[in-house]
Amino acid sequence: MNSNKIINLIIKLVAIVGFLFFIFDKAFKENYFNYDSIPYVASAYMHSGNDLESAHKYAYELLRNKAHPAVFNDLCCTSSYRKSMYEDVEAFGSHLPAYQTKSLYVYLVRIVTDVTGTDEFYALKIITMGSITLLTLLLALVFFNKEVLVYLCLFPILFLMQIIPLARLLTPDSLIALMMFSAGICFLKKKRWAGYVILFPTILLRQTNIIIFGLFLLFELKDKKYLRFCSLLAVSLIVYFLNSVYFESLGYWKTYNASLIRMPDTFIGFDPNFQFSILLSTLIGKLNWMLGNPELNRLIAIMALLFLISLYKLKEYRTDNIETTLVPLIFILGALLSYILIPFPDFRIYAGYLIASTFTLILAAVKNNSKLMK
């Protein structure tokens, strides 16, 4: 091994170790709490055979013991919705299905809690930080043999993809990002079954992920494998349906109204009528507002940029290696369709799609560039 290779190896190792220590220092060492973590804790606690009332009391008492009083007050009492969730057990239970339908995440919280002997909030931190660490290590492994400058691009891109907030939030989004990128690598390597196996469980982490699973099944239609397409699509829809029924999903329109129009103090009796005009006006209004917001417009810009670059790469379409062209495009299409379906003004919802699209796009570009240089 010559001196240049040794220097490059040292640079790469120092970069990945330094980056992970930085993430750990900024995201794991300190306690961060967000409202969503409360119903996740309660849901996981109920999997130990506890009822709603005891789960509600347990989650808020545990938060009170772990969080700074100002943080606790913010999460329990700064809006009529949060105050209602804190004071009214039945109101809290009426919204719990929105979290329980992310059943794989809730079960994972229960398992990690039991195995490690920690509490559920700490289990959420372990899952989040573990997912971010594995994602970073996987990226480093995949790009390790690339040129050092290409490798170093990983880290500013991860910052652009909001890796610090993603590592702090006690939600399934970091795990989704890990699984989506892992599946993307499998599809790039033409290991579709492995890609399907990894991508399929994301439906139980966030229900809208059935969109991206369905989009990747289009590979089967292209290859005229109609039976495989119908079988996999049917299985995914059955699992989606059973998960929704078992955990009494709120449904699309209730979720849409509560997330984007008006959050009710209780979901008991909450049954807004579907109106397409509301759907269209909300989409346009949210898009217009986000584009004018200096913090949120980066999400729209990144989506648009990835979509346009992916479309541009269609000119390089080759039947013998369609994956390098279509995999990044499918991920960004999944993000766009999810946004159109429910335009959340929140980067974390789309982080998995955007991370997977960005890095599979870079891998495809590096691979093509290497061929041109030969």
pLDDT in tens, 39-78: 999 999 999 888 999 999 999 999 999 999 999 999 999 8
How far is C-alpha 137 from the geometric centre of its chain's CA atoms? 18
- Average pLDDT of the segment spanning 343-365: 92
What is the spatial distance between Cα 332 and Cα 12, in angstroms, rounded to a whole number? 29
372: pLDDT strictly greater than 60: no
What are the CA-CA distances from residue 107 to residues 42, 111, 125, 228 (Å)?
Answer: 12, 6, 15, 29
Q: Report yes or no: 124 and 37 within 8 Å, Cβ to Cβ.
A: yes
Please give the pLDDT value at position 317.
Answer: 67
If one compares 101 and 325, the residue with the highest pLDDT of the two is 101
Closest C-alpha among 165, 167, 243 to residue 204: 243
The DSSP H or E segment spanning 285 is helix 276-291
Please give the pLDDT value at position 365.
Answer: 82
Opening angle at CA 105, ends 99 and 106, nearest 5? 60
Please give the pLDDT value at position 8.
Answer: 86
2: pLDDT strictly greater than 90: no
pLDDT band at residue 1 under the 50/70/90 scheme: low
Determine the 3-state secondary structure of 292 from DSSP: coil
173: pLDDT strictly greater than 50: yes
Q: Considering only 1-15, 130-144, 260-274, 359-373, which range has the smallest mean pLDDT? A: 359-373
Closest C-alpha among 374, 367, 329, 323 to residue 150: 367
10 Å CB burial of residue 35 (0-12, 13-18, 19+) is middle
Please give the pLDDT value at position 74.
Answer: 93
Query: Two tokens at 236?
Result: 């995914």
CB atoms within 10 A of CB 270: 16
Query: Two tokens at 320?
Result: 């013998």
Please give the pLDDT value at position 318.
Answer: 64
Please give the pLDDT value at position 373.
Answer: 36
Phi, psi of 199 (to 5 degrees): -75, -30
Closest C-alpha among 353, 269, 273 to residue 310: 353
What is the spatial distance between Cα 310 and Cα 324, in angstroms, rounded to a whole number? 10
105: pLDDT strictly greater than 60: yes
CB atoms within 10 A of CB 279: 17
5: pLDDT strictly greater than 80: yes
Please give the pLDDT value at position 364.
Answer: 84
Please give the pLDDT value at position 83.
Answer: 95
Averaged confidence pLDDT in the chain: 91
pLDDT digits (tens, 9 = 90+) for 130-164: 999 999 999 999 999 888 999 999 999 999 999 99
Taking the domains of the chain in order of start, what are their residue ranges?
A: 3-30+101-250+275-373
Q: Please report, in angstroms and rounded to a whole number, the separation of the first and last CA atoms in the chain.
A: 22
What is the spatial distance between Cα 271 and Cα 278, in angstroms, rounded to a whole number? 15
Q: Which residue has the tokens 């917001």?
A: 293
Closest C-alpha among 244, 371, 269 to residue 316: 371
Q: What is the dihedral of CA 355, 192, 229, 213, to 10 degrees?
A: -20
> Whole-structure pTM over 0.85, yes or no?
yes
Closest C-alpha among 202, 221, 5 to residue 105: 202
- Per cent of the chain over pLDDT 70 is 96
Q: Report yes or no: 361 and 185 within 8 Å, Cβ to Cβ.
A: no
pLDDT band at residue 230 under the 50/70/90 scheme: very high
What is the spatial distance between Cα 210 and Cα 201, in angstroms, rounded to a whole number? 9
Contacts of 222 (CB under 8 A, 6+ apart): 322
